[in-house]
């Protein structure tokens, strides 16, 4: 039988598949809890970063039942550093729903998976294909890149997405759809990289229209980017006489929901802390700035410091935390940067 792009890719995968801690061994059945957990972590985070977090979570919470029974704070703390904290909140919500409403079993269809908290179209397709061998065709940025090159499709993103989705669906084999999805992911991350794709080692070298015409590196085309808006704010570093620092917990909903932060003002009006009114004229501006880039804006923070002279805590909600305990608090990356800036 003549080799097709699909069969060539599967042969290449059998010889070169990446060993990843959430991946089943060849011929073995995948663990849906592992697949789901890894796919949620991999949303907006690289494989290299996710490996350590995945192993930590599986170590602490080996089953979905264990995770469902976890304390919210323990999960948020274990997640700290992965970013996009709504994912951690949805992770817990989803684990509890799987235990309460599905007797601890993940549903096996794309549609039912999409109804779960934190599971969008890509994640649902990836779990359906990898965990349940359903003929689903997940499409992410890597797969858009690989397939836009295979077809030399110069349609710019985001218009390209619908075309790639249909193209991908046409390639998915009736047997081994899970391996096909993982093979596409591996090809995109190891050979068909954004810069300098390794076409000489690629199983699709003879089929790839972009390689044949020498335009691979220019694909996929993108619509011109808009600049991110700028925001500025002030962080209040309030210490007590023992050197502990005041932290407030943000509301569950909204940006960085449920995370601990040093009180701040000016950049997120819903969470402004009126700390500057507590001791007017006594805050000392520290030199330098902290810059953090969120998905939708770029934030520049200055820091003002003050030592709280009273034994009673300040009249705003929060708690004192010693700097050596910062690592045990669910502190978002932007506030880890602030702490480093102040303490360095
Ligand atoms: Fe990508 Fe090159 Fe393979 Fe084409 S031949 S799919 S450009 S690595």
Residue-by-residue pLDDT tens, the chain, 344 positions? 689 999 999 999 999 999 999 999 988 899 999 999 999 999 989 999 999 999 999 999 999 999 999 999 999 999 998 988 889 999 999 999 999 999 999 999 999 999 999 999 999 999 999 999 999 999 999 999 999 999 999 999 999 999 999 999 999 999 999 999 999 999 999 999 999 999 999 999 999 999 999 999 999 999 887 889 999 999 999 999 999 999 988 877 777 777 889 999 999 887 787 776 777 778 899 999 999 999 899 999 999 999 998 888 888 888 999 999 998 888 889 999 999 999 98
245-249 vs 319-321, strand pairing mode: antiparallel
Mutate to test the pocket of ligand 1, among 141, 187, 189, 192 (most ligand atoms within 8 A of CB): 192
Q: Residue 270 has which token pair?
A: 């819903």
Q: For domain 5-218, give its CATH number from 1.10.760.10, 1.10.340.30, 1.10.3720.10, 3.30.70.2660.
A: 1.10.340.30
φ/ψ of 307, rounded to 5, equals: -100, 125
| Domain boundaries of the chain, sorted by first residue | 5-218, 230-343
Closest ligand 1 atom number to CA of residue 197: 8
**How far is CA 25 from its chain centroid?**
25
CATH hierarchy code of domain 230-343: 3.90.79.10
Query: CA distances (Å), 118 to each of 24, 87, 88, 90, 133, in order?
Result: 23, 6, 9, 5, 21
Closest ligand 1 atom number to CA of residue 205: 5
DSSP label at residue 341: H
Instruction: Report yes or no: 303 and 341 within 8 Å, Cβ to Cβ.
Output: yes
Q: What is the pTM of this model?
A: 0.71
Active site residues: 39
Q: Is the CB of 210 under 6 A from ligand 1?
A: yes
Distance 203 CA to ligand 1 centre (A): 8
φ/ψ of 94, rounded to 5, equals: -65, -45
Q: Is the CB of 215 under 6 A from ligand 1?
A: no
């Amino acid at each position: 039988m003549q080799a097709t792009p699909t069969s060539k890719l599967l042969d290449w995968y059998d010889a070169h598949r990446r060993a990843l801690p959430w991946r089943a061994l060849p011929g073995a059945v995948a663990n849906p809890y592992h697949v789901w957990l890894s796919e949620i972590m991999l949303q907006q985070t690289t494989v290299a970063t996710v490996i350590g977090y995945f192993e930590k979570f599986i170590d602490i919470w080996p089953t979905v039942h264990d995770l469902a029974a976890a304390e919210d704070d323990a999960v948020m703390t274990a997640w700290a550093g992965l970013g996009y904290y709504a994912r951690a909140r949805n992770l817990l919500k989803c684990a509890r729903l799987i235990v309460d409403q599905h007797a601890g079993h993940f549903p096996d269809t794309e549609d039912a998976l999409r109804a779960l908290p934190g599971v969008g179209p890509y994640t649902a397709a990836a779990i359906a294909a990898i965990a349940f061998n359903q003929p689903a065709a997940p499409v992410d940025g890597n797969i858009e890149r690989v397939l836009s090159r295979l077809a030399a499709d110069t349609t710019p993103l985001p218009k390209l997405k619908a075309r790639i989705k249909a193209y991908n669906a046409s390639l998915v084999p009736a047997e081994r759809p899970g391996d096909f999805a993982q093979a596409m992911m591996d090809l995109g991350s190891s050979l068909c990289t954004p810069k300098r794709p390794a076409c000489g080692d690629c199983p699709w070298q003879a089929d790839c229209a972009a390689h044949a015409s020498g335009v691979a590196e220019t694909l996929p085309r993108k619509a011109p980017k808009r600049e991110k808006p700028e925001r500025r704010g002030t962080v209040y570093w309030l210490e007590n006489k023992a050197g502990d620092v005041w932290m407030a917990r943000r509301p569950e909903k909204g940006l960085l929901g449920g995370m601990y932060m040093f009180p701040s003002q000016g950049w997120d009006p819903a969470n402004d802390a009126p700390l500057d009114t507590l001791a007017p004229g006594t805050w000392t501006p520290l030199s330098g700035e902290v810059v953090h880039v969120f998905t939708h804006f770029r934030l520049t923070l200055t820091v003002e410091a003050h030592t709280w002279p009273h034994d009673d805590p300040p009249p705003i909600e929060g708690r004192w935390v010693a700097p050596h305990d910062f690592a045990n608090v669910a502190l978002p990356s932007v506030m880890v940067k602030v702490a480093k800036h102040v303490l360095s």
